[in-house]
Every structure is written in structure tokens, then in C-alpha cells.
Structure 1
């Protein structure tokens, strides 16, 4: 629909805003005393207007929601028009030529306003302080969470972003955060389009409803979807409907399991140009609960899918929106890393149509929480009506998107109540058990519903909602609770809709962009380090626990004696932890069917939860995930006295004849044991091969028997296509993960350029552990990887900030190397 000139037009130019004390101006006429109006981006927030006026980021962390803010713009038109306000944060009034015509008390609702225009019209939007709404009595809550402050935020339909101390910057949202649009400028203007797809046997069905703003003269119109076509019918003078059947439709898949096929949809007209309605897809998604009803596995088009991804926060916490180019880069990074799901948490907000369009395009599933988290929500009629409309509007807007894979009542509501000691019946809310499920059943029956994240299996009244062995859980055993790696197996995780939170250190270029906070000994470093409210520890402490337990590092001493080494090892250890846990969860015989890391994006510069930093550059954690999450993947698990198991994953729809080769190395270069075999990797399969069967004799690959000194320090597995020799995947295992031993690993690097841009060719004579690239003007598309001896990897370079105004110049390092290699 965006391609059609008949679509609603965004009113995105000419806006100004001004802030006033709460209640200072009751009407627009009282604004004459204020002269400090700012040019304001719309959609946007007061904070984004200040940012555009060059206010520094630190100064944007303000309680904007507790003041009043006025926006104004002048419109020029004649005749009947409809103004559409797609999101107003949060208590808002709309004034037309000095008359108040609309009030809103939810940032999640869209509003239409029909007006008769006669030349110049002045539009004001006032965003009132939410303080009175916070102070209003609305029933007594059964529990008070610490996550967001104040506790009465439960009464206000606004995002918790900006209200969560220790989690994110205190940039409270206020302003027209979603587009303001005008409809009716043409006689054929389209008011709205609804498209819903379904699968019928091998065919795809598409139902379309197009509503025109003005009454239309009857015209012959046809609906085309791919190569299928059908006549459309006029329900009335404004409404056009039709259904088209696409025979033998190609289905939409997560990119890890197939192609995310999309079909263009067009309305053809005999007397006018065609109207493009965008793209749709066909797919089925179900949840397999297993024979005992306690399981949780996403099944797409009849195929079980191991879902892996990260939780979404916001690509721009200041504006609460981001341009398509920025979102596209993020989805590209997810796809390269092998992620196939993003969870939009209930602590955040509902994302834009562009977000879902890109998810469809890239084959990334979306687990969407409704915007509820932690609280015991009101039950009065006004609140229920608001929630009803909120859910209906969201589902109508996103009905066309195949990527919407799970709908969830909210985040940690059941968990919060249970952890505070309430019994099962005390934390059940009709909002989650009755109201939302009924709306979904009517509007998106093709999307599974989960009552909460986390939650026990349906009907399970005895298990804790955060129990690991059924339903979906938030697993932080390895991570926040500092459990050893074997806890990832012992916990018997079914599905982790949150997991593995660390204070992930970005690269040195990102750190240097943060004044006075680029090193952990500097006081401002801790501002960016997340913590749970009331906890005596933060997520630096979590990361440092694994530095001590896995790497054998005296953390405090390393931090003050060699801060550069401390930062390097901090980056490496989270990649090791991420890789170890997901190798465990993806292995043959695992109980786990998916894991979603907390979080995808940082919300400010520094060592945040994100696996992508605030500048859009992937961190070591994402590269560590990419090493174990590809559709065709070799994985290694340590089975103790049984040695090492090699797991060969083929998630694609194609059978592959492969060759697997295992090599044990001493001193990172000398082969002391090994073996290989050929194997047919069936489509959608996992195979397990023990190291002993590959070697053909006893060899202590896990160094579990300890009959004398270790005979090797590295195990390397190569998976190749047996017909072409193409490398499909690699995996490495170190029986001792300490970092005390370093040697010259013979790193070398050359720089070249082709039609795709600059790239590095990196080689090593010995096993190189966690190879990484440092370049002020570029970052490595493939970074933080292991390099086998006498092998070469080609590393594409990506210009930072999209600017190609410098030639690459930097260094390549390995954490077990005594020297790096330079290029320029």
C-alpha cells in the first residue's frame, strides 16, 4: 500500500513543539507567552526534538512524561478530510483551530478524526503530564513489582521504557511517536486495507478488504496475488472485498529452514492505474505441546523448528522509532548470525509496520508480547475497553504479516506474583486468560497464544511459572545465577523465551565514543551496566564470574594491571558461554526447542545487555552465537568419560552427502589423533557421532580420565560437502579453557577489494582462538571466530556509519596469540 499515491499521507513536515509546566496552559491560546518552540520530527518524541536541536544524549534522560508538551502544525486544504493519529504518548488532547476535538489516555491506541477544512487549519496536540493518572485511585494491587517505578504505572497505558531504573535510560516518552496522517486528498483515497492469508491444503487463500474514504462509482476491479486473479465485489460504495486462491502456493519459511516466499498483491482497474497493496505470504504455525502437554515447540508448515534469537527493546529509545535502513541492517545482522526469532517484550511497545515487513522479508519470526509486564492490572470497565481496542487495532494492523509467530499476554506477570509468594489462583488475571485469547481467536486464529512469558504448560497448577521443565521459561541458570555449563542440561529447559543476559562489552571504537566511560575503572562505566532493581550485584559481576571459573583469571588484578586484556577476555568469555549453552540445547537428544537471548540491542553506549551495540555493530556475543546457530552446523558437546559427541544439524529441506573430519591437535598445530567418515544428512535432521567412532580407538578427547598430562589442547571438527569439498561448518573444543598460555600463532592478514567492497584474508600457522579485528573505520562482518592451523578465512569489512571515506587500516588479534597482524 505504501507504493500507492492513494494511501494515507504522513504529516511529517512543519511541526514545532514547546514544553510547559504541567497544567500551565489549558488551551492553545495560552501559549503566546512561550517563544522557545523547537522544530520537531514527527513521528517522534519531545526527546527526539531536543536531540535534533543538539541536546546531548545525557541530558535527554528526563521525566518528560511529568510535564506538558504542545505540538503544532499548519495545514492547507479544502473539503472533508480524516486525520489519523497512530500513536500519542500518552495523555493527549487534539485541538483544531482552538477547539478540543479528541482526548486519548493510551499511547497504544490509534484515533481517527474527521474534519471539514476550509483553507488554513491549525492543528495542536497537547501531551499532558501523566502525574494525575499515576495518582488516581484504581483499585488495590495484589503485588508491587520493583521493575518499574512508580507502581501505579500499571494504571497508565504507556511503555515501561524510560521507567525502569537499572534497565534503560530514564528517557520518558512524550509526543506523537507514531505517524500523524491525512486521508481523503484524492477522490479515490484509501482509508485502510486489511489482508488475511491462510493455507487450505496445498493452496493459499487471501482475503482482502479495501475501504475507500470517499464514496466510489462502481468500477470493475480484480485482485491479483502472484499469478492468481479474481474479481472484487463492492460491499457498499466505500468497501471492496474479495478472496483469491493461489494454487500450490509456495510457503513462507523462517530463513533457517527455507525461503520466506512473498507474493505481491495488486488491484487492477479497467479505467485507472493499478494499486499495489504490498506483499503477503502463506504459512502455518502451531505449538507442539508433546504427548504429556508440557512441551513447547514451534512447528512451521508441519516442520518442528528450533527457534533461536534475541529479545527486542527499541532501535531508538529516544524517538521510539527507527528508519527502514537502520532496521534492515539489524535484520541482516540477525540473519547472518543464524537467528530466526525476535521477541518483542511486554516491557516495550508494539513495533511499526516496517518492522514486521522486514521480518517477513528476512524470514525472522516474531514473538510478540502484548504491552503488559509484571503488574497486577486494573479490572474496571474503562481499562478493559481500552485494552480491547488496543489488542484489536494491533491485530488488525498486523494481520497481513506471516512473521507473527507467537502472541503472548505479557512479560513476567505470573513469575513476579509467584516469586512474591502468591498461589496459582491469586495471580490469574482474566485479561490474560480470557480477554486476550478471545480477541486472538477471532482475529488471528493462525497464531498460537501463550498466557505469559514465562508460564507453565496449560493446566499445570503445581509447577512454578518459571519452572524449566515445561512450558516456556526465563532461564538464567547459566548467566545471572552463575551456574556451571552442565546446568544447561540438568535444568532440562523446554523453551527459553529469555536467557543468557550479560553486560556485553562492545569494541574499542564504540567505547572510545563514550567520554569518561571507556574503561571499567572509570566511574561512569557503571551507568551503562544493567542491574536488577534492588540487587547487590550487576551484570559485570556475572561476566566476571565466568572469567574466573572458565578462564582461571584473577579478575580484579587483571582489570587494574592490564585493562586492555581484561576487555578482550570479557568479550571472548561471553562468546564461549553463549556457544556452549546453545550447543547443548541444539544437540541430539536435547529437551530444548528454542532459546531467546536477552537482549538484541543496546539502549545506550557501553556494556549493556545487547548483542548489537548502540551504533549497530555486532558484539562478540552475537558472533559467538553465529558460530553455533547456522542451519547446517557442526557442534561438539563434552560427554565426560564418553569423550566428545559431534552433532551434525541440517535444518534445510535438502539432503546433503557430507564428510565429517575430527582432528586433535597438540600445541595448536600437531595432529595427534583423528578420523573421518561420510554421512548422509537428511533434511530437517540431527545426527550424533561419538569421537571414539571417528578415531577408531581410545583417545581421551575430553581429558576426563586424566591418565597423565593432556595429549592435546584443541579438537577441530570440519563438516564439508562430500561432493564439492565446500566447507559447511566448523567446531572446536578445548579441554582446558584457561587463557594463561599464549604463543605466536602465526597470524597473517592481507587486504583486497572487489565489487562487494573491502575484505581481509586472515591466516594462521597454529590454532588461533577468538580471532578479532580492530579497525577505526570498519568492522568485520565475520568476527570473533576460531581459526584452524594452516587455514584462511575471508572477512568482509563493513564501513562504520555507512561511510566509505577511508581505506581500511587496523589489526587482527587472537586471544591466545602473543602478537597480532596489521593491514593497511
Structure 2
């Protein structure tokens, strides 16, 4: 007999639910008058954002405020709220905290109900009998995260790590302690929703709906975890795609598996390969309901050895996918400021650049549902790191228990997402053990390999067997091969940027490049909103606060090499280093794609920033697309033409990453760089490239009479274009007044129409210099004489005229 169950009641303790919270400093190196003084708090939130909203601190991102606020990470903080609760007749009451950051003691009505030590998991505390009808007081006291990490190191011993704080001692977002692109703003607070759940009988504890495909049928295997208070039986129902499956669950049953089948299911595909149909799933347990969405697809990674080494080929529904992706970091240093819309906007940056994968990097967080939902809807595959980055990690207690708890919860929560493509054990830790001098300080102690090679793959096999697992990035998929061997698996390329010229990219033949990149400054308006040095200088005091890489500005300078001249002023520094960043990364990706099918993907470091900073990002901390982003849009296009040197001479490499054959006529023209752009020689040939394939065609054996004043223009009949220059820009004759430009107002902004009278290289418009709200639709445009291009600007009114430094090209750098 199935008895009715009292409905699960939820009492929201977030600010949006009506709870009034305060935060106060309990102990630490705080400013005078702040100890014990309550400050209004927002939940979810972080102490930094609460203090900022209350006017107690300046903006942590501005100027050199970051270092002035380091005391926050060494202070103990107490969050407090009082609330009235009405008894509802249920048997059990539980306090559910989806995210506490990080080392905390939870007290209700003066009674300690639990302690936490992990930002990356939720907690559920039984408060039955402690929660009372009427007034209640909840207090959550957080240890200062920097102090807590240092205390753990003093107690447990040191494990090697990058950067200056021992972030690997805690299960907390590593980059929150500062990174080579991010600020040191170690936070504390209630960072995800918190509530009281009151229930009787039985409730849904977890739902893990795994959608797969057998033939043309969709198969959904729904795993439901249950929690009980009594011996009442229950009816469990799963609805999906017009089907309904129901079972009677006997009292005490902890888990149930229900299999649903949908005939002729519509498959989910990554963008560029098909549509993204999503199916609503409803799980009902008496009066308790769970709602989610799934997409029916299969995922696999081929790492079977071949004659060239070890491939890394990601396939969806049995179809190999060439990966055009980027690494993703937390989109704000204060992650509680992120919203569904901010996630959508940032992921749209990836879509608009032609990407099909984002790698959630292991020094960040398991992202909000809003992130994965957007990826599901937009067809962006997700490579999900487990949260280990650039450090050795203890495998002893209490860390091991926390690692397993967070991993179980993360896999359970995220496994439903159609976009989830790869689980990855760590970022660079296998490589670190081999090359970063860890073995002496470790003195034989376990350092994390047990997680990456044993615990985590077992958990993925148990909880999400439909999704591939990789032990790390980089990884060669063989314990006896160097983890960063270009011939095997995934590779990170960091000697470019750190040590050598970007032309070194062509010396590598990576099977799959999962990290590589080059730095450049953010948009001018972004930079000057936080850097106030007078005069503005690359080596100014505040500028260096917003350059976190070791010797970063020296590497920017060295990286110009023979490609571009050293700047004459700060405007030229800004443009030259942005341009060099774009060219360096494009150079690498064009080379990688020319190697197809040996190379099966590129994941650039990085898509986004978490504050205004000089970094590797394509989109800066204010959401402005840097020149790099426009370079990525070109080299991540579905169809790419690129001129590449080979032993036989110059070749035209064509990569056709579409489902249609590419048949076009190619015109190769050797032109003068000067006014009129005289055609010195011209040839045509037919180009045929099969679907999802690549081809190499030898170019005419052209010898420039004067390499300093000539270039090759390679144009397809479908307007796809590539260029080749015989010398670097520092030796190339480029006209100073190579174009004319005029402005025309539009209903939503203005157009800038540019017409070239001589070769104009890498033309860019920077409307944010006139109005920080302005955005432009295109960039890095190269025009041969006689060609025109229209830049469309939105978000700002039309200026009367445009001039340096709002409109720039490579031409004006070399004059």
C-alpha cells in the first residue's frame, strides 16, 4: 500500500528569499573599528563583495588596492541571520548548504551542527529538534582562507605548488589565491544557495539521468538516490520524450534505476555538426519532483596507438570532431557576481569565434548550472577538469575523503549534460611531477597520482560510464611516456611565450594541443579604468599590479622579435602587443590545422578574464573582444586557407571542417605593397577538399623580385582569403597613408567605411577609446588596394571623425 507523503517544504535562507544577513570580522589584521561590527551581507555572496557594497573597502580591482586588501584572506568572518520558522508537521528538518567557502563552523540556536572544509561540494545537516517553531539564529563562521591554508601546511607538511599561497592544502578554488592572470583575493562566504528542507517519509536525494543511443533509439537510464524517515513505500515515475515509466519502491530502498526508451530519437550534436535537441526529464516521487534536461548522444575518445604515436580523437555519435576550443577560467574573480546572462554572453563569445569546445580548467570551480545549460543549448562541448592544478596534493586524510565526496557530487550533478565530453583528472600535475623538481621535497609521499590514475577513473566508470576520462592534461595515455610528448595524446606548448619566438610553433606536430597561448593587454578603456599611472607606462607601478605573469612585460617586449618594432609611446605599446598576441596564436593554430588529420584539435589558452588584466585572454575582463578574438574567428572558421612552408616550398593548406565537399577556384596573385597594388603575377587552379578533410596544394614557384615590397594574395572564389609575406613587417614596405575612412551614423551606432589604396595590414577599430560602451563587429582586416571594409559599431553615437589611435593598422607601427 502506498501512503501519501507530506510534501517537501523549502525555506529559503538566501537574501532573495527574504533573509537578512550580516557579516562581521571576528579576528584578524582588520582596520580599526571593524572587529565585531555587523555589515549587511548578501547571500549568496562573498565577504569582499559585501564589504565593497557597504563602502568598507575600495574596489579590489582598481589601482593597487589588491595588496591593500590581503588582510581579508587572513581574517575570520561570521555570517549571521535570524529567521522565524513555522512548524509544518514533517518529521525531519535539514539545513542544505549548496556551497560554503570554505573552512566553516555552522551553529544553529547556539548549537554546533557541523563543520565544512570544501568549497566544491554541498552539505546537508540534520537540524531536527534544533530548529524551533518561532525565532531561530543561524551563524556560519569562516576561517580566513589564507590563514587556514598556512595552518594546514604547518600541520600536514608542504606539498609543492606554484604561486605563493599553499592553495593545495584546501579544497578551494586555486586561482582565488592569485594566479599568473588573476588577483589574490582569497574569499570567504556563503557562495551558493542555502535553505532548510522539511520532509517526511521519503525524498529524492539525487538524480543521475544518463542519456545514450542504441541504433536510432534513445535510451535514458535514470539513477535515483532516495532518503527515508519511515517505512512508507512510494511510487517513482520518470517522464521523458512522451514516455512514462513508474515503479513502486519498497521502504528503505536507497537507489533505483529506471530505463526509458524513445523511438527515433533526435540526436544532440556539437555546433557545426547538427542540431542540439534537448528533452525534458521529470522524476516524481510521490509529491517530490525533480526536473532536468538531457540530450541523446554518445561520446568517445580514441587513444589507440597508431604509426605516428597516440591520437586524441573526440567523437560524438561515432563521428570524429575536430576541436576548435578555448580554456575557460572563472568569469569573475568574485564568482557570486556571475549570472545566467553573463554566462550566456561569455559562451556566445566562444560560439561567435567558431569554437566548439570549452575546457573548464582545474584551478577554478565546477561551474554553475547556467554554464552547462548554455553549452547544452549552444552546442559547445565541455571538457571538465577535476579541480587539481599545478601542484602536488596529499592523498592522506582528511583531504582524500573530501576529494572523493566532491568528485562524487560533481559527476552526479554534471553527468546529465549533453555537452559534457571529457572528464580530466588534473591540469599539468603529471607533467609537474616529471619536470618541476617535486620528488625531493615530496620524499616519497603520495602526491595525487592515486587520484588521477585510480580514484577518479573508478568514480567516472561508476557514475558516468558514457563519458570518457583522461588522467590529465597534458597526458600521453601511457605511464611510461613523458606526459607532454607531442607524439602522444594531449600537449601543452609553453616554451612559446616563456622562452622562444612564436615561429617555434611550426617545430611542433602535436596530436592535440590542449593549452598554448600568448599575452596581450586588454582594451584601452578596460586597462585605463584600473591603471592610473602618470604617465601611463608598461612598467608603471599600477600597470605591473595588472600584469601577473613572471616577467610578463619583458616577455611581451621580447616577443615582438623581428615581427614588429619596439613601441615609441604607450599607444603603440598597447597596439603592437595586442597585434603580436593575435598573430602569435593565429600562427600556431594555422600550423596545427595544416597538419590535419595528424592534429585533431586546438584549445587555446584562454577565452576569458576574471578582472581587468594583461593576459592570454581573447575577451577581456570588461567583455571587450581583443584583436586576438578576431584572429581566432578567422583561424577557427569552418573552412580555412593558410599558406605554409614545407620542404618542397610554399603550400596552400586547406582545412574543410564541414559536411559538404569544398570545390572552388583559387587565384594566387603576387602584388606590390604600394599604391595601386600592381599585380606582378597571377595563376589560378581548382581546389577540391572532401568533407571533414584537409588538402595541401603546392603554390606556384614564385620568387619575389623585391621581397620587401611584394606579397602573395591567395583568394578563393567563395571569398576565403590567405596572405603570405616574404619578410617580417619590420622589413616590409608599408604605406603610411594606405587607406581612407569615413563615418556614417546608423540607427544603433555608426559605420566606419575604409577603402585601401595600398596594402593595409591588420586594420582594427577601437571605439572603446571614445566610449567604453562601444563595441565593433570586426577586426584584423587586411585589404589589398581597391578593397573596402565596413566596421559596424554599436552602443555609442557616431563621432565626427576618426583618427589615430582609434583606428590602427600594422602600417602605422612600422613607419
TM-score, normalised to structure 1's length?
Answer: 0.84
Q: Find out whether 1:713 has 2:710 as its counterpart.
A: yes
Match of 1:343 among 359, 373, 382: 359
2: CA distance between counterparts of 1:808 and 1:252?
46
1:785 is matched with 781
Counterpart CA distance in 1 for 2:284 and 2:454 is 42
- Are residues 107 and 547 of structure 1, via their aligned partners in 2, closer, same or farther at CA, if it must alter by over 3 Å? same
Deviations 1:676-724 (A, max 9, x none): 34444432111222222xxxxx422xx5xxxx42386332233344xxx
8 A Cα contact 1:742 1:817, kept in partner: yes
Question: Which of 17, 20, 25 is matched with 2:22 structurally?
Answer: 17
Describe the shift of the 1:646–1:259 C-alpha distance in structure 2 as closer, same or farther (beyond 3 A).
Answer: farther
The aligned runs of 1:406-421 (5 Å cut-off) are 406-421=422-437
Structure 2 Cα separation of the partners of residues 589 and 404 of structure 1: 24
1:599 aligns with 2:591: no
How far does residue 765 in structure 1 lie from its aligned partner after superposition?
Answer: 3.6
Structure 1 residues 8-64: Cα deviation after superposition (integer angstroms, max 9, x where no partner) = 95723334333324499xxxxxxx996632222222211121232243223454243
| Contact 1:742/1:816 (<8 A) preserved | no
Q: Show the 5 A alignment for 1:441-590.
A: 441-459=461-479, 461=480, 463-485=481-503, 487-502=504-519, 504-517=520-533, 518-532=536-550, 538-551=551-564, 553=565, 555=566, 558=567, 561-589=568-596
2:398 to 382, 389, 408: 382
Counterpart-to-counterpart distance in 2, 1:683 and 1:9: 53
In structure 2, do the counterparts of structure 1 residues 8 and 324 end up closer, same or farther at CA, with 3 Å as the change threshold?
Answer: farther
Could you say which residue in structure 1 is the equivalent of 2:639? 632
Contact 1:763–1:790, Cα closer than 8 Å, also in 2: yes
State the Cα deviation string for residues 745-764 of structure 1 (Å, max 9, x = none). 2233443546x876554443
The separation in 2 between residues aligned to 1:422 and 1:222, in whole angstroms, is 50
Partner of 1:127: 142
Alignment of 1:682 onto 2:707: no
Is there any run of 5+ residues in structure 1 with no aligned partner, and where?
25-31, 533-537, 693-697, 722-726, 820-824
Mark the CA change 1:422 to 1:193 in structure 2 (over 3 Å): closer, same or farther.
Answer: closer
Q: How far apart, CA to CA, are the structure 1 residues paired with 2:458 and 2:226?
A: 29
Partners of 1:326 and 1:500 lie apart in 2 by: 24
Mapped contact 1:10–1:180 kept (Cα < 8 A): yes
Counterpart of 2:739 in 1: which secondary structure? coil
Greater CA drift, 756-765 or 387-396: 756-765
**Counterpart pick for 1:286 among 301, 304, 318:** 301
Work out which of the residue numbers 729, 733, 737 in structure 2 matches 1:744: 737
**Which whole-Å deviations, capped at 9, do the CAs of 1:49-89 have from their partners, x for residues lacking one?**
12322432234542434221111223333234433211111
Equivalence for 1:333: 349
Give, in whole Å, the separation in 2 of the partners of 1:103 and 1:393.
Answer: 18
In 1: Cα distance, 2:11 partner to 2:326 partner = 33
Query: Does 2:725 correspond to 1:734?
Result: yes
CA–CA separation in structure 1 for the residues paired with 2:209 and 2:186: 35
Q: Distance in 1 between matches of 2:595 and 2:632?
A: 18
- The answer on whether the counterparts of 2:735 and 2:758 sit within 8 Å (CA) in structure 1 is no
Distance 2:755 2:417 in 1: 44
Q: How far apart are the structure 2 equivalents of 1:488 and 1:779?
A: 32
1:311 corresponding residue in structure 2: 327
CA contact (8 A) 1:234 1:240 kept: no
**Counterpart of 1:47?**
48
1:170 is aligned, of 184, 195, 201, to 184
What's 1:611 paired with?
A: 618
Q: What CA RMSD, in Å, does the superposition of the two structures yield over aligned residues?
A: 3.5
In 2, distance between residues paired with 1:166 and 1:267? Answer: 44
Please give the TM-score of this superposition, normalised by the length of structure 2: 0.85
Distance (whole Å) between structure 1 residues aligned to residue 439 and residue 322 of structure 2: 32
Which structure 2 residue ranges, 5 or more long, are not aligned? 1-6
SS at structure 1 position matched to 2:191: coil
Kindly tell me: are residues 7 and 717 of structure 1, through their superposed partners in 2, closer, same or farther at Cα, counting changes over 3 Å?
A: farther
Q: Is the 8 A contact 1:256 1:630 kept in 2?
A: no
2:4 equivalent in structure 1: none
- The alpha-carbon deviation at position 190 of structure 1 amounts to 6.4
How has the CA–CA distance of structure 1 residues 767 and 774 changed in structure 2, closer, same or farther, with 3 Å as cutoff? Answer: same
Q: Secondary structure at the match of 1:627?
A: helix
| Paired residues of 1:782 and 1:795 also in contact (CA < 8 A) | yes
**For the structure 1 residues 482 and 34, does the alpha-carbon distance in structure 2 shift closer, same or farther, using more than 3 Å as the test?**
closer
Inter-partner Cα distance in structure 2 for 1:809 and 1:328: 34
2:115 pairs with 1:99 = no
**What CA distance in whole angstroms lies between the structure 2 residues aligned with 1:681 and 1:640?**
22
| In 2: Cα distance, 1:447 partner to 1:323 partner | 27
Q: How many residues align?
A: 764
Moved more, 355-364 or 372-381: 372-381
Per the alignment, residue 691 of structure 1 pairs with 699
Matched, 1:815 2:801: no
Matched, 1:772 2:772: no
Cα distance in structure 1, aligned partners of 2:94 and 2:140:
16
